[in-house]
């Protein structure tokens, strides 16, 4: 495995509409489709980070219903920025 530069806490949020469809957004940084997600800021709760990120990225106001899971496996949670900095996300999914 390549060197990991950092470990960061992050959230992702699955949002369903009335017909059961999942909201996806096209990411500007990777040009790929995904669910709203982002990093937890210092002094912020996990739930507050999820609510803030969804508002920033979609302009939707949400209520957290449940935690889906916490993911930290380096096999699926290692990300690399264009700067080539690699990090593992400790991802909290709602």
Tokens standing for 16?
């369903």
In a domain, 14, yes or no: yes
In a domain, 69, yes or no: yes
- The yes-or-no verdict on residue 73 having pLDDT over 80 is no
In a domain, 41, yes or no: yes
Instruction: Report how far residue 6's alpha carbon sits from residue 3's, in angstroms, rounded to the nearest whole number.
Output: 9
Instruction: Report how far residue 60's alpha carbon sits from residue 45's, in angstroms, rounded to the nearest whole number.
Output: 19
The total number of structural domains in the chain stands at 1
CATH code (residue 28)? 3.90.79.10
In a domain, 27, yes or no: yes
**DSSP, residue by residue, 49-72:** HHHHHHHHHH----------EEE-
Q: What is the residue range of 64's domain?
A: 6-93
In a domain, 43, yes or no: yes
pLDDT in tens, 6-32: 778 889 999 999 999 999 999 877 788
Tokens standing for 94?
């709602």
In a domain, 1, yes or no: no
Say what the pTM is: 0.79
């Amino acid at each position: 495995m390549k060197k990991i530069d950092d470990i960061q806490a992050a959230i992702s949020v699955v949002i369903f509409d009335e017909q059961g469809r999942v909201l996806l957004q096209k990411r500007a940084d990777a040009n790929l489709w995904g669910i709203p997600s982002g990093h937890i800021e210092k002094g912020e709760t996990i739930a507050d980070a999820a609510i803030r990120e969804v508002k920033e990225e979609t302009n939707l106001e949400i209520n957290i219903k449940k935690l889906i899971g916490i993911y930290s496996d380096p096999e699926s949670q290692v990300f690399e920025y264009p700067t080539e900095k690699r990090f593992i996300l400790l991802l909290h999914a709602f």
